[in-house]
Amino acid sequence: MKKLFTVLLGYALSLGPLAHAQEGPQMTLPRIKIGAGMHLIDVQLATNTQQRATGLMFRKEMPVSEGMLFIFEQASEQCFWMKNTLIPLTAAFVADDGTIINLADMKPQTTDSHCSAKPVRYVLEMNQGWFGKKGIKAGAKLTGRPFQGN
């Protein structure tokens, strides 16, 4: 019994830093620039499971020309929700070649599911209204390093 307690305690302690890391916004992810028509976007890259799971949670604001690009290993139906996300966002579900498949406006702090209309590897989250103000709709193409050669 003592050995089981020690193993469980060790497991719980090992999860401590992981759980703590998700209590605040992630602000130090790698960044790149991508294009949407004539507009340049500074995006943070969420490339692993933990980064994608945390996303833009806990942020109180995001600069107008910034966003987060979620990159998945393979194309599949991607679904997002807004639990612990404090700012309204729009998700652009993006094909390998940079074509926006569909857009979804998402309300803060909800668990409503917003999914891609077909399998995608990329999802770009921007402040809600950004795409509309720029006249960017489904069918538009994003440009930049992630979409080159596809």
Residue 24's pLDDT is what? 83
List, for residues 88-141, the tens digit of each pLDDT value.
999 999 999 999 999 999 999 999 999 999 999 999 999 999 999 999 999 999
Q: Is the dihedral of CA 64, 65, 70, 75 positive or negative?
A: positive
Helix runs in 22-135, H state only: 49-54, 130-134
**Mean pLDDT of all residues in 2-28:** 49
Superfamily for 25-147?
Answer: Protein of unknown function DUF192 (2.60.120.1140)
If one compares 15 and 120, the residue with the highest pLDDT of the two is 120
Q: At 16, is the secondary structure helix, strand, or coil?
A: helix
List, for residues 53-65, the tens digit of each pLDDT value.
999 999 999 999 9
